[in-house]
Structure 1
Amino acid sequence: MLQNNLVLKQKVDKLWKKFWSNGISNPLTAIEQITYLLFIKRIDDLDLENKNKAQSGGEYYKSKFEGKFIVPGTKEELDKETLRWSYFKGMNSEDLIPHINTKVFPFLKSLSVETAPFAKHMKNAVFAISKPKLLEETIQIIEEIFEEIKKDSIERNQSFQDIQGDVYELLINEISSSGKNGQFRTPRHIIKLINELLEPEIGNKIADPACGSGGFLLGAYQYIATKLDKNKDTVIQDEDGFYRSSVSGLLSEDIKNILGKSLYGYDIDITMVRLGLMNLMMHGIDNPNIDYKDTLSEAYNEENKYDIIMANPPFTGSVDQSDINSKLKVKTTKTELLFIERIYNMLRVGGSAGVIVPQGVLFSTGKAFVAIRKMLLEKTELKAIINMPSGVFKPYAGVSTAILIFTKGGQTEHVWFYDMQSDGYTLDDKRMKESGYGDLQDIVSKYHQRSEKKKNSRSDKSFLVAKNEIKDLGYDFSISRYKEEEIVDDTYEEPKDIIFDIEKLEKEIEEKLIELRSIFDEMD
């Protein structure tokens, strides 16, 4: 987690203060403008990396900066090379604003075909940095941020960085605007954990119906790309115990196209849609499928389509009844329940989901809560319920959460429960890295080895519970209903022995006192 990098935090804080002091005080505006520059920088870096790899291998690579670009509204024709970050970063500050605003930014919008989500949602995007000095200082700080991230990736064995997501997370933290509308970024190691449990494969259609900046989609892309990496045996464990490699530049165009067409994200915040689109493009996905849609509304009707769904939907409390899709049968306005049914409907038969929910979903007695739990137990193969401690989403929120793993159309016989005590980080607002991996690797190992024949004691962290037992207890999914506390019998000495020990100790003390008095008498 880059939030543990104090140098990086200081640089992001410095960047935010520059925007604030220059009159850009709306947090999302600042984040969006910074993201545009991060994107321009990352696209240049990625293009140069791929170009160098192709040349070293004697192959041809078509650069995004190859050829000419006609400046919109003029007849001026430019070499695209002049639109690179590495070209303009050293320009005079007075020339930077018009160059980026009238040339680089329009080029940025043209990076995708007109019908693609990126082109559609960038159409009305505006580059709002109007002060040359602010732009010059921002470029310098972004250069420093990328250098620090590169250093961090080497030291922590994080070969694959969600750069935009990490900086976004730090910005949100710095400006104390986290959790707005129930949105907060899922920690990278929890995304990795869910991918390890679901094991997405090349060719799977993968979706997130409330994708934010695209972290789950990027996590799936990274997981699959690592499996396809010919050199994966040389990859070492990262700080969370997972094996991940950054191989987008090594993937064939066919594989990249398949992966690009496999990932689908939706969000109701246009800023987050743009962030998500740029996030995936930063990592080599040329035409990401992230769109502006309310997946709970009448306008969204995709059903039986996806092989894998991973989501941390917002816990906003409730939505307007009139906005809810009539095909959602659970009578509620609570988003955490509506999204579970939406995800169920989106999955094809045989498709699996990993969903983060507030723990209240597991045990609340309201009719809608019980109905959702009944649906999961009766209509899916409910494979796992993993309780997470309340600090996992700090400093954004202290709410206790759980991960639900289920497959549509299967039959539940037993549900595997795991009581996570640690995710490898402190559970306070600082969320500092602890030694080891917490319970992360234990969860992955035991989940894939779970079996009726290997029933654990219910006093252990993990154990199986039969479907009928859960049903008989009113579809209660809380682990506390099934976990048995291990009682340790304390043994005590007999009273007469305790009295004997006390008398013996008193005698020893009296002897010491006599000895000390004797010493003092001699000194006198």
Structure 2
Amino acid sequence: SMNMLLHGIEHPDVRYKDSLAEEHGGEEEAYSLILANPPFAGSLDYENVAKDLLQVVKTKKTELLFLALFLRLLKPGGRAAVIVPDGVLFGSTKAHKQLRRILVESQKLDGVVSLPSGVFRPYAGVSTAILLFTKTNSGGTDHVWFYDLQADGRSLDDKRTDLLPADKLGATPAEPLSENEHAKNNLPDALARWQERNETELERARTEQSFCVPKADIVANGYDLSLNRYKEVTHEEVEHRDPREILKELVASEDEIRQGIADLEAML
């Protein structure tokens, strides 16, 4: 609650409970917006997990159970932005695939933002992403917007030092960032492109920092949501010299060496 007060939320509604173990009948479909950074890499026994969550996806992994919880808590039309470990995006277990399928087929998966691995240092170095989705219970995913966030305005080491002045940090700086400043803080660009995800972003090539992927491609890839599955990397063409020229130079160098040795022997 102290953290919320420091961020201007003067009357927070903080409840002490085990969200994954207790039933959620009183709060089901109660919220229109969920912003969450749930615990990663936890595991619970089935008997300790709320039955209504296991009805969504049968798993012991907390990162998947929290996503199931948010689907329960959101009202139809409600939106969520959830930080997840990268494993959620490409995990091969039945539960991983089932949950991704639910987001794509039964709900509306709006976007996936890949985060740099140092954003949670010094506490954790795990690679993470943000899942952005809307609860519809009737599908609606036509395409998914991907953004490769490479910098958030701070160093990605344990110190997390500011790389820009305070008025140029965050997603809404006081003035537009230069190209050099953008390289240190991608957040304003990510926000601007997110707002165009259903328009100009549809035209971007997969070699760019953001792009859209049709639902059909995601289905064909087993509902894999990792950015690298779809991002195309361009390689600069390198011109190599003709091997015959190189061999000719080597022969000439060897001739010079042999001549030098012969001259030295003649001097002895």
- What TM-score do you get using the length of structure 1 for normalisation? 0.41
Alpha-carbon separation, structure 1, partners of 2:76 and 2:63: 22
**Change over 3 Å in CA distance of 1:486–1:335 after alignment to 2:** same
Alpha-carbon separation, structure 2, partners of 1:365 and 1:478: 12
Alignment match, 1:293? 17
Q: For the Cα contact (< 8 Å) 1:293–1:300, is it kept in 2?
A: no
Alignment match, 1:440? 187
Q: Which 5+ residue runs of structure 2 have no aligned equivalent?
A: 165-180, 254-268
Q: For the Cα contact (< 8 Å) 2:122–2:158, is it kept in 1?
A: yes
Q: For the Cα contact (< 8 Å) 1:388–1:402, is it kept in 2?
A: yes
Alignment match, 2:216? 468
Q: What amino acid sits opposite 1:470 in the alignment?
A: I
Aligned residue for 2:119, secondary structure, equals: helix
Q: 1:425 aligns with which of 144, 154, 172?
A: 154
Alpha-carbon separation, structure 2, partners of 1:455 and 1:325: 43
Q: Deviation of residue 471 (structure 1)?
A: 0.8
Alpha-carbon separation, structure 1, partners of 2:134 and 2:222: 21
**Change over 3 Å in CA distance of 1:290–1:498 after alignment to 2:** same
Q: For the Cα contact (< 8 Å) 1:452–1:464, is it kept in 2?
A: no
Aligned residue for 1:331, secondary structure, equals: coil
Alignment match, 2:256? none
Q: How does 1:246-285 map to 2 (within 5 A)?
A: 276=1, 278-281=2-5, 285=9
Q: For the Cα contact (< 8 Å) 2:23–2:51, is it kept in 1?
A: no
Q: What amino acid sits opposite 1:424 in the alignment?
A: G
Aligned residue for 1:427, secondary structure, equals: coil
**Change over 3 Å in CA distance of 1:283–1:413 after alignment to 2:** closer
Q: For the Cα contact (< 8 Å) 1:391–1:398, is it kept in 2?
A: yes
Q: For the Cα contact (< 8 Å) 1:308–1:353, is it kept in 2?
A: yes
Alpha-carbon separation, structure 2, partners of 1:441 and 1:310: 19
Superimposed CA distance per residue, residues 439-477 of structure 1 (whole angstroms, 9 cap, x where no aligned partner) = 111111111112366421111121111111111111111
Alpha-carbon separation, structure 1, partners of 2:122 and 2:241: 48
**Change over 3 Å in CA distance of 1:332–1:284 after alignment to 2:** closer
Alpha-carbon separation, structure 2, partners of 1:358 and 1:368: 15
**Change over 3 Å in CA distance of 1:299–1:462 after alignment to 2:** same
Q: Deviation of residue 413 (structure 1)?
A: 0.3
**Bigger Rg, structure 1 or 2:** 1
Q: 2:118 aligns with which of 378, 391, 398?
A: 391
Alignment match, 2:72? 345
Aligned residue for 2:203, secondary structure, equals: coil
Alpha-carbon separation, structure 1, partners of 2:153 and 2:128: 16
Q: What amino acid sits opposite 1:444 in the alignment?
A: L
Q: For the Cα contact (< 8 Å) 1:456–1:463, is it kept in 2?
A: yes
Q: For the Cα contact (< 8 Å) 1:297–1:325, is it kept in 2?
A: yes
Alpha-carbon separation, structure 1, partners of 2:110 and 2:104: 9
Alignment match, 1:480? 228
2:102 matches 1:375? yes
Q: What amino acid sits opposite 1:434 in the alignment?
A: L
2:144 matches 1:415? yes
Q: What amino acid sits opposite 1:362 in the alignment?
A: L
Q: What amino acid sits opposite 1:489 in the alignment?
A: E
Q: What amino acid sits opposite 2:221 in the alignment?
A: L
Superimposed CA distance per residue, residues 292-325 of structure 1 (whole angstroms, 9 cap, x where no aligned partner) = 1222123433111111100000114212322211
Aligned residue for 2:82, secondary structure, equals: strand
Q: Deviation of residue 283 (structure 1)?
A: 6.0
Aligned residue for 2:51, secondary structure, equals: coil
- What TM-score do you get using the length of structure 2 for normalisation? 0.78
Q: Deviation of residue 498 (structure 1)?
A: 5.9
What is the number of residues matched between the two proteins?
Answer: 230
Superimposed CA distance per residue, residues 130-149 of structure 1 (whole angstroms, 9 cap, x where no aligned partner) = xxxxxxxxxxxxxxxxxxxx
Alpha-carbon separation, structure 2, partners of 1:281 and 1:503: 77
Q: Deviation of residue 345 (structure 1)?
A: 1.1
Q: For the Cα contact (< 8 Å) 2:146–2:212, is it kept in 1?
A: yes
Aligned residue for 2:223, secondary structure, equals: coil
Which shows bigger deviation, 378-387 or 486-495? 486-495
Aligned residue for 1:417, secondary structure, equals: strand
Alpha-carbon separation, structure 2, partners of 1:339 and 1:500: 67
Aligned residue for 2:147, secondary structure, equals: strand
Q: For the Cα contact (< 8 Å) 1:294–1:300, is it kept in 2?
A: no
Q: For the Cα contact (< 8 Å) 1:389–1:401, is it kept in 2?
A: yes
Q: For the Cα contact (< 8 Å) 2:24–2:52, is it kept in 1?
A: no
Q: For the Cα contact (< 8 Å) 1:305–1:346, is it kept in 2?
A: yes
Identity %: 46
Alignment match, 1:313? 38
